[in-house]
Amino acid sequence: MARYLGKETPRVDGIAKVTGQAKYAAEFQVPNVAYGFIVTSTIAKGRIAAVDTAEAERAAGVLRVFTHLNAGRLGKAGAGADGWAWPLQSDRVFFSGQPVALVVAESYEQARHAARLVRLRYREEPHQTDLEAVLSRARPDPESAKAKPRGDARAALQAAPVQVAAEYRIPIEHHNPMEPHAAIAFWEGDALTVFDKTQEVYGVREHLAEGLNVPVEKVRVVSPFVGGAFGSSLKPNYYPSLTAMAARALRRPVKVVYTRAQMFTGHGYRPATVQKVALGADRDGRLQAMVHEAFHNTSAFDDFSDATTRFTRQVYACPNLDAPLKVAATDLPTPTWMRAPGAVSGMFALESAMDELAYALGMDPLALRLANYAETDPDSGKPFSSKALRECYRIGAEKFGWARRSPQPRSMRDGRLLVGWGMASSVWGAMQMPASARVVYRRDGSARVASATSDIGPGTYTVMTMIAAEFLGTRLDQVQFELGDTRQPRAPAQGGSWTTSSVGSAVRGASLAIAGRLLALAQRDAASPLAGVRADAVEMLDGRLRLKADAARGVDIAALMQAAGLDEIAETHEAKPSAERANYASLAHGAQFVEVKVDPDLGTVKVTRVIEVSAVGRILNPLASHSQEIGGVVWGIGMALEEATEVDDRYGRMMNANLQHYHVPVNADIHAIETIFVEEEDTVVNPLSVKGMGELGMVGIPAAIANAVYHATGRRVRDLPITPEKLL
Ligand code: MOS
């Protein structure tokens, strides 16, 4: 029935991207732009005792060197004196890699050269960057603490006939999008325009208005293309305010681009976690108790929590549960959300522990999951608005050949290689945030659609174009969708995998409002074939407004608009989550089946086969959606086997701040990946029936791989990444 929704659609912005016409933040051409280069601290904690910028200021092309001694004020007076809210506002150093100066020059090269000539002397203070060393100082995360324990988990654990308990560790990891963070700022009188790499133009706008003390309406933030972000641009980072401050002081446009090394301290990271999981079950494998205690680090000046244990409460039916999260301060930058934040860390621990429980019970790992299948939300008791996880397990197991698995570790081989089969469940939210969109429909059937969302890569331009074309009854090429500008209607950050549900609902709503306006126009004529017809009974298609039930009954839209003297009509719609949602629990689910081959002499692991099955509502664009899940699997492989930010705690510094030593998967690491969707009809979550799907794809993968590695080798690796030395 649908013309576009559900059909494979290539990216509408694909050609612009591959031909270089898509402009990223640093690529906008602004006349007379000056270049800023950030100087970062070399100590982890202390104060700047002396600043010598004389040599840097004498260097060719240098316009000014900003430090805390001469930088314009950012934020309210006193802000940053005790904490670190805004850059260059005090002599305090809270982490290694903190911005301590900004050199602005006529060219990037001149600024970068002069940055090396800035001399800073520090008064160092003792620092602590090791999460293990501050565990005892961890404090309950207030948000997670709102969720109370269920039953009496510790007593039930003691009483359970079968128990497992273990600790799991994940190191700090960094988003490494291709595009570095960048901003260009310029002032026209008291009006500020900033081109920024961001997942939320409205968020950056409010941040800059506060930081530079100008009215919000005077700030415009533009970000039409983002070369990957994964959470690293959810919060406004420090560089846009720094750039805008410098542009104001110099009365010139200024551009600042992070180096790759600066991307390791400039926007947060996935926090390091220590997780203690204890599970108790009866002999049939039914969970009696789950205790999942997580710790992660934050900075010394800012709170952050990624809600590591949040989904533990909803994954399995279990009467007794305690899943607290505690957060401990370290002298590192503040962490932030990174792809599938919390969920992928928490589920690595929980789904590894479930595998350990399966072995303790002598039970098949999939059978154990099924024995604890949550038919209703164990946390709220509410029914799920939809949940096809059982079907995901069934299809995944069948496709993978799970029934042929011999359960004993080290029992399957391929020549000299050890073969391991592992599985895990995944879970993510099905969230919707308030969002607005505007549709301008023209008499010729073309439309301009706008919402200030972002497209960090998942295909938002494409799916919004599809939704508008579907409900306006136009061709795809007649719709122009625009995003990433605070002049457009407000949209939430692109994060949480909620964009299609939120912004898509707004685009749908605005398109239907156009149809409603046209119907009202038609009904001015008492003789109209649509007289007396309700708005939900009509649809737009190929320039006609017609009855859904009787295509022959309708009117020509162009003629209708012409008669009314209208060249175009515009509607703005704000979509909000429906009240009905409150009666249900809504989650996205998935099941992963993984094969690894381990070289017993070298300890190397290859992920040779992955079957990933997801239930995420309806799939609007299968092409982009499969790409999202494949990307999730690839990232899960990286997290399981490769990714780690190495901190040298003696210096409190991240040591591998580059893509040579921070390992991510390359083509040679990736083998067969099959992604499958089990579609769900779920009009409770939103009228488009879509759930969050971008982040889900990686959630179960690290655990499934660790479980497969155990099956292959008999070695249970509980600290990621699973590097070769851990298997020798
Ligand atoms: Mo989402 S944490 O912005 O990938």
Q: How far apart are CA 172 and CA 643, in angstroms?
A: 9
List, for residues 438-486, the tens digit of each pLDDT value. Answer: 999 999 999 999 999 999 999 999 999 999 999 999 999 999 999 999 9
104 and 214 share one domain: yes
Question: Which residue puts its alpha carbon closest to atom 3 of ligand 1?
Answer: 231
Q: Is residue 576 predicted with pLDDT exceeding 90?
A: yes
Dihedral pair phi/psi, residue 491, rounded to 5°: -135, 155
341 lines ligand 1 (CB under 6 A): yes
* Residue 106 main-chain phi, psi, to 5 deg: -70, -30
> Is the ipTM of this structure higher than 0.90?
yes
Tell me: do 404 and 459 sit in the same domain.
no
pLDDT given at position 84: 79
Domain count, the chain: 3
| Residue that terminates a domain, selected from 576, 598, 616 | 576
pLDDT of 320 above 70: yes
Side chain identity, residue 370: L
Q: Which tokens belong to 492?
A: 């939430």
d(CA 340, CA 270): 10
Nearest 5°: phi and psi at 442?
-100, 160
Find out whether the beta carbon of 234 lies less than 6 Å from any atom of ligand 1.
yes
- Structural domain includes residue 598: yes
Q: Are strands 605-615 and 672-677 parallel, antiparallel or unpaired?
A: parallel
Tell me the CA–centroid distance for residue 425 and ligand 1, in Å: 20
Q: Report the atom number in ligand 1 closest to the C-alpha of 341.
A: 2
Atom of ligand 1 nearest to the CA of 496: 1
User: Ligand 1: does its nearest atom lie under 6 Å from the Cβ of 200?
Assistant: no
Say yes or no: 622 and 643 in one domain: yes
- pLDDT of amino acid 76: 80
Mean pLDDT of 677-682: 98
Residue where a domain stops, chosen among 215, 230, 264: 264
∠ at Cα 87 (208, 128), nearest 5°?
130
Ligand 1 closest atom vs CA 456: 3
Instruction: Say if ligand 1 is within 6 A of residue 307 CB.
Output: no
Residue 230 Cβ contacting ligand 1 at under 6 Å: yes
582/685 Cα distance (integer angstroms): 10
Specify whether 400 is located in the same domain as 259. no
Let me know whether 212 and 101 are in one domain: yes
For 292, residues 6+ apart whose C-beta sits below 8 A from its C-beta are 275, 276, 277, 309, 312, 321, 322, 323, 346, 349, 350
Q: How far is the CA of 110 from the centre of ligand 1 (A)?
A: 35
* Domain end marker among 230, 264, 298: 264
Minimum-distance ligand 1 atom for the alpha carbon of 234: 3
Peptide bond before residue 87 is cis, with ω within 30 degrees of 0: no
Task: Give the atom of ligand 1 at the shortest distance from the alpha carbon of 495.
Answer: 3
In angstroms, what is the span from residue 402 Cα to ligand 1's centroid? 32
C-alpha 416 to ligand 1 mean position (Å): 40
Where residue 81 falls among pLDDT bands split at 50, 70, 90? Answer: low
DSSP secondary structure string for all residues of 210-222: HHHT--GGGEEEE
Is the Cβ atom of 156 under 6 angstroms away from ligand 1? no
Q: Can you tell me the mean pLDDT for 235-252? A: 97
pLDDT at 358 over 60: yes
Q: Which residues are catalytic?
A: 695
Q: Is there a single domain that holds both residue 519 and residue 560?
A: yes
How remote is the CA of residue 351 from the centroid of ligand 1, in Å? 22
Residue 155 lies in a domain: no
Q: Is position 507 within any domain?
A: yes
Residue 422's domain is classified under what CATH number?
Answer: 3.30.365.10
Cβ 695 under 6 angstroms from ligand 1: yes
Atom of ligand 1 nearest to the CA of 231: 3
Residue 164 to residue 224: CA distance in whole angstroms:
50
Residue 483 CA, ligand 1 centroid: distance in Å: 18
CA of 339 relative to ligand 1 center, distance in Å: 4
Instruction: Please tell me the distance between residue 231's alpha carbon and the centre of ligand 1 in angstroms.
Output: 4
Residues 720, 687 within the same domain = yes
Q: Say if ligand 1 is within 6 A of residue 153 CB.
A: no
pLDDT in the model for residue 453:
98
If one residue of 695, 696, 699 were mutated to test the ligand 1 pocket, choosing by the most ligand atoms within 8 A of its CB, it would be 695
Beta partners for residue 479, in sequence order: 447
**CB of 337 shorter than 6 A to ligand 1:** yes
Q: Which atom of ligand 1 is nearest to the CA of 175?
A: 4
**In a domain? residue 153:** no
Report CA(232)–ligand 1 centroid distance (Å).
Answer: 7
Confidence of residue 85 (pLDDT cuts 50, 70, 90): confident
Reference 64, options 252, 192, 237; nearest CA is 252
Q: Is 150 in the pocket of ligand 1 (CB under 6 A)?
A: no
- On whether residue 148 sits in a domain, the answer given is no
The band of 530, judged by pLDDT with boundaries at 50, 70 and 90, is very high
Q: 595 and 682: one domain?
A: yes
Structure tokens at 336: 């932030």
Q: Is the beta carbon of 635 within 6 A of some atom in ligand 1? A: no
Q: Which atom of ligand 1 is nearest to the CA of 497?
A: 1
Q: Are 123 and 49 in contact (CB under 8 A)?
A: yes
Question: Which of 232, 235, 270, 338 should be mutated for ligand 1, with most atoms under 8 A from CB?
Answer: 338
Region of poorest pLDDT, from 74-83, 571-580, 687-696 = 74-83
Query: Quick one: DSSP state of residue 687?
Result: T
Q: Are residues 106 and 226 in the same domain?
A: yes
* Nearest of 412, 427, 409, 452 to residue 691 by alpha carbon: 427
What is the side-by-side order of every strand in the sheet holding 605-615?
Answer: 412-414, 417-429, 587-598, 605-615, 672-677
pLDDT for 715 equals 98
Within-domain flag for 624? yes
DSSP 15: H
Classify 288 as helix, strand or coil.
strand
Query: Residue 63's pLDDT is what?
Result: 98
559 and 450, same domain (yes or no) = yes
Q: Judge if the beta carbon of residue 652 lies within 6 A of ligand 1.
A: no
Is any ligand 1 atom within 6 A of the Cβ of residue 240?
no
First to last CA, the chain: 57
The verdict on residue 283 lying in a domain is yes
- pLDDT > 90 fraction of the chain, expressed in percent and rounded: 98
Best mutation site among 337, 433, 454, 499 for ligand 1, i.e. most ligand atoms within 8 A of its Cβ?
337
**Nearest to 340, CA basis, from 20, 614, 682:** 614
Pocket test for ligand 1, best of 197, 234, 269, 310 (most atoms within 8 A of CB): 234
Domain with 547, as residue range(s), is: 433-576
In this model, does residue 80 exceed pLDDT 70?
no
Mutate to test the pocket of ligand 1, among 174, 230, 693 (most ligand atoms within 8 A of CB): 230
What rounded mean pLDDT belongs to the chain? 97
Q: Is the CB of 458 under 6 A from ligand 1?
A: no
Q: How far is the CA of 337 from the centre of ligand 1 (A)?
A: 6
> What would the pLDDT profile of 410-428 be if each residue is shown by its tens digit?
999 999 999 999 999 999 9
For ligand 1, the distance from its centroid to the CA atom of residue 13, given in whole angstroms, is: 21
- pLDDT tens digits for range 181-239: 999 999 999 999 999 999 999 999 999 999 999 999 999 999 999 999 999 999 999 99
Mean pLDDT on 301-315: 96
CA of 365 to the centre of ligand 1 (A): 30
Question: Ligand 1 within 6 A of 495 CB?
Answer: yes
In a domain, 149, yes or no: no
Three-state helix/strand/coil letters over 377-437: CCCCCCEECCCCHHHHHHHHHHHHCHHHCCCCCCCEEECCEEEEEEEEEEEEECCCCCEEE
Mention every residue, 6+ apart, whose C-beta is less than 8 A from residue 682. 385, 386, 430, 586, 617, 618, 689, 691
Question: CB-based contacts of 78: which residues, under 8 Å, 6+ apart?
Answer: none
Q: Are residues 542 and 642 in the same domain?
A: no
> pLDDT at position 17, please?
95
Pair (216, 67) in one structural domain: yes
pLDDT over threshold 70, residue 78? no
Evaluate: CB of 196 within 6 angstroms of ligand 1. Answer: no
